[in-house]
């Protein structure tokens, strides 16, 4: 089993692939007029090129990590979902510019940031997509992990058919697949503390025991969510916002 230090080294290597991806995307998109008739064609081509080079490299890191942790050979390098996420974000950002809701520099910065996130996600996609059903895994939370990752890192889990770990774009946490449920040396899961955060936020939200300002922020977040995607807003999204507020986490 890897140690906590091993997981942070893997996260560092992932970031070493993502950072030049950001720089390259930024260099290429800097010359593009996002209001031009062919802007979409150009920027989507940039996204393709970045993912083919850096997304594939990140996927290779994920395959190596899978073998290192559990001696599982990755049958396929997988980054199609990460690539699709980047293309969706590019389309959204271009739409914001066209609608006059976002300035070009802000749109370019947003797309560049998302490119880095999606390159990081390519490693997770390969790890998760190649884990056989029944593989035990845990999430090792990165320092300063967000509310979602804090909860997800609280316990060991076992994959079932059709069930795989979930991660958000650019997640700095590390999924550790294993063949047995050993503790990871140097890492404390703090299950009781993490689960307590979740239960308090869930119960307070259900009882309506949250400040009016926080309720408005949840509704604003819900509205912004539907501007970006047609995926359903779940109660977990609202709970995580309350967790962040109550516990001072990102």
Residue 171: the pLDDT is 83
Position 138 scores a pLDDT of 82
Arithmetic mean of pLDDT, 95-122: 95
Residue 95 pLDDT: 94
Which tens digit of pLDDT belongs to each residue from 169-216? 888 889 888 766 566 788 777 767 777 888 888 899 999 999 999 999
pLDDT at 12: 95
Q: What's the pLDDT at 105?
A: 96
Higher pLDDT, 178 or 54: 54
Residues in contact with 145: Cβ distance below 8 Å, sequence separation at least 6, in sequence order: 153, 172, 173, 249, 250
Per residue in 145-173, pLDDT tens?
777 787 777 767 776 655 667 777 888 88
Contact 192/150 with Cβ under 8 angstroms? Answer: no
Q: What is the pLDDT of residue 146?
A: 75
Phi (first) and psi of residue 119, to 5 degrees: -65, -45
Residue 54 has pLDDT above 90, yes or no: yes
Q: For the ranges 10-19, 24-33, 109-118, 199-208, which has the lowest average pLDDT?
A: 199-208
Residue indicated by tokens 């990590």: 65
Domain spans of the chain, in order of start = 4-131, 191-247
Dihedrals phi, psi of 5, to nearest 5 degrees: -60, -40
Residue 79 pLDDT greater than 90, yes or no: yes
Residue 218: half-sphere exposure toward Cβ, Cα within 13 Å = 22
E strands, the chain, where? 136-140, 157-158, 174-178
Tell me what pLDDT residue 185 has.
Answer: 81
113-128 pLDDT tens trace? 999 999 999 999 999 8
Single pTM value for the model: 0.79
**Rounded mean pLDDT, 90-100:** 95
């Amino acid at each position: 089993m890897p140690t906590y230090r091993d997981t942070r080294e893997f996260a560092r290597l992932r970031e070493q692939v993502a950072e030049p991806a950001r720089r390259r995307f930024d260099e290429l998109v800097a010359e593009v007029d996002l209001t031009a008739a062919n802007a979409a064609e150009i920027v989507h081509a940039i996204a393709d090129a970045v993912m083919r080079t850096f997304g594939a490299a990140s996927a290779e890191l994920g395959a190596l990590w899978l073998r290192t942790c559990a001696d599982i050979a990755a049958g396929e390098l997988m980054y199609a979902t990460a690539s699709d996420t980047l293309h969706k974000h590019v389309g959204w950002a271009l739409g914001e510019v066209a609608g006059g809701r976002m300035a070009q520099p802000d749109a370019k910065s947003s797309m560049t940031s998302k490119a880095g996130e999606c390159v990081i996600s390519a490693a997770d996609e390969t790890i998760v997509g190649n884990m056989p059903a029944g593989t035990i895994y845990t999430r090792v939370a990165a320092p300063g992990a967000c509310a979602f990752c804090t909860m997800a890192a609280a316990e060991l889990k076992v994959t079932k058919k059709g069930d795989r770990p979930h991660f958000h774009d650019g997640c700095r946490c590390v999924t550790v697949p294993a063949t047995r449920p050993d503790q990871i040396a140097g890492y404390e899961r703090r299950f009781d503390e993490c689960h307590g955060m979740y239960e308090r936020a869930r119960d307070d939200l259900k009882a309506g025991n949250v400040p009016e300002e926080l309720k408005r922020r949840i509704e604003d977040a819900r509205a912004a969510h539907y501007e970006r995607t047609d995926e359903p807003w779940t109660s977990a999204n609202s709970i995580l916002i309350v967790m962040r507020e109550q516990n001072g986490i990102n």
